[in-house]
A = this chain, B = another copy of it.
Amino acid sequence: MSGDLEGRVLVLGDSVPTNFLNDLRTAGLEVRNPPGSFPPAILDEGEFRDQLQGCRACLLGGDEIATASVLQAAAPELRVVSFLGVGYESFVDAEAAAKLGIKVTNTPGVLSDSVAEFTVGLVLDAWRRISEFVTLGHAAAQVKRHDLRGHRVGIVGLGAIGTRIVEILTRGFEAEVAYFSRTRRPGIEEELGIAFRPLDRLVREVDCLIVMVPETAATVGMIDRETFAGREPDSRLIRVNTSRADVVEPDGLSWAIDTGRVESAWFDGFYRVPSAITEALEKRPEVEVSPHVASLTYEARDAMAERAVGSLLNLLRGGEDEYVVN
């Protein structure tokens, strides 16, 4: 089938290794990278629209957002947007794409180990203050912490990544885990010995809260002051999340830290739209933020790129693809 396709593919972001781009070229496609610096700057809406002109497909691996307006301008040539990652909802208006006949794909499953392992690493870092100790050495305060074994960890979201996190925490660390999810998962409850809790009760009862849900209209701000208010003052929850920061409402989190309901909050990725509140929150000593790197492993990125390129080629060839989301 090689050399059977023609047309241009816009590749955004720097996460697609050269060998996978060569798969596109072998198939007959022209690869277009936006001009500019390395690492590539993030295109704004107008630049994205310009670059996408005349392209048949887009590998969306950067932080650009394919709005309805961007997609509209690229139709009808544009057939496929292959998103590298799981939470496409924040980056592609999949509904607008569907109306224009543009297929959107994502790459679920392949990130689970990478993100779950990083998340557990953040939990241990927050739980035992490892980064403080290795940064300060002798100057670090010798503050006693707690074992993780036997302590109560709550997780919000039990998708592929959340489930992998729970496997590590229960099988490896023998922590007591409870979860909240839109959909109850009795099979996983039984297999891993975890209990379902309504969100407010979960947040009230645990020592450590992991948030692992995609950012959607329904999840932005879903954990807010009211959710934290059920906790006792000075009960000192440790919160970690490696899904989008915006799932936790920043004003409510600040209040919870001020009142001792939350001891510290560690997350992977800054708030999407900075404000005075989010910037002040991110600068607090109780808050640590890593720059959205939980999936930054060779294994995850290669698997994402391979799958996204595979979906793109399947669809341009007129076939079906199991990773279409719209």
Contact = CB atoms under 8 A, between A and B. Distances in A.
B290 A134 contact: yes
Dominant SS among interface residues on chain A? helix
B144 A297 contact: yes
B147 A299 contact: yes
Interface string A109-124: 0000110011011101
A272 interface: no
Contact of A172 (B127, B168, B300): B168
Contact of A133 (B113, B138, B293): B293
Interface in A118-141: 118, 120-122, 124-125, 127-128, 130-131, 133-135, 137-138, 140
A324 B291 CA distance: 50
A305 to B, nearest CB: 12
Contacts of A143: 296
Interface in A7-36: none
A317 interface: no
Given A131-B134, A167-B172, A147 B117 contact: yes
Contacts of A298: 144-146
Interface in A284-324: 288-291, 293, 296-301
A296 to B, nearest CB: 5
A1 B113 CA distance: 56
Given A117-B149, A289-B137, A290-B137, A131 B131 contact: yes
Interface of A: 39, 113-114, 117-118, 120-122, 124-125, 127-128, 130-131, 133-135, 137-138, 140, 142-149, 167-169, 171-173, 266, 270, 288-291, 293, 296-301
